Amino acid sequence: MRKKIPVALTIAGSDSGGGAGIQADLKTFAALGVHGTSALTCITAQNPKRVLAVAPCGPRIVEQQMKAVFEELPPAAIKTGMLFSEEIVRVVADFFRNSKPKTKNLKLVVDPVMISTSGAQLLKLGALKRLQDDLLPLATLVTPNLPEAEILIGRKITSSDEMRRAAREIHRRYGCAVLVKGGHLRGSAAAIDIFFDGKTELELAALRVNKIKTHGTGCTLSAAITGYLALNYRLPEAVSCAKLFISQTIAQSQRAGRHCVLNCLCRLKT
């Protein structure tokens, strides 16, 4: 008998530079021993420095990809990344809302990708409201970085205490657990993330790795959480393990071309 491994699904855009999006997610799933499946939402022409172009997929083909995966490779956990348009957000939310009982115990991680590291807009304005109204209420966890969390709550976040308040407000508004990522927080020697699920609050901290500029850390972190959920970790444990995973992939990053790239096959040190 061959060993059976869990399946995870990523619904996201591609990154032709290989550092973020679908490519980062599948590498992360593989590193954790999870079989990765995908539903492509957009093709992007990008590298670690800039996004040259975005070509969204039609909502029909996005839906068909999800349907194909669920027919033969039902995922134990799912993540969404770059969804880009209102039509794509709608079809993804409708699929999970209307596909019961197969998605009755849905483990859905929503990474609300809005702006690329280089500053390109990756979520259209109309899609944001659809994401807030239709997709976040279905999520197990949402993983905004500071700029995304500021958009979700409508105010600036400048400290770890304000991150805690933001996490609680996002949970109250949308009913899902939240991980507010503090990598953009200025003046802190540590990279601090705040997790809150309505009962448990965690402050997850790791020393910043200076002089390394990486690409795709948000995608990799949310994919790692999804991978650990597929491996049947409880949500707080999955988030904690994923924080360790991303911290060490950054610390052990390698050079590719002119840039540093995350090492998803790093040796984890506990």
Which residue numbers are catalytic? 181, 214, 216-219
C-beta of residue 177 within 8 angstroms of C-beta of residue 143:
no
Under a CB-based contact definition with an 8 Å cutoff, are residues 206 and 188 in contact?
no
Pair of tokens at residue 70: 């669920």
Rounded Cα–Cα distance for residues 106 and 104 (Å): 6
CA distance 111 to 267: 25
In contact, 31 and 265? CB cutoff 8 Å: yes
> Tokens 């304000």 correspond to what residue?
162
Angstrom distances, CA of residue 54 to CA of 76, 121, 266: 30, 10, 31
Q: How far is CA 238 from the centre of its chain?
A: 13
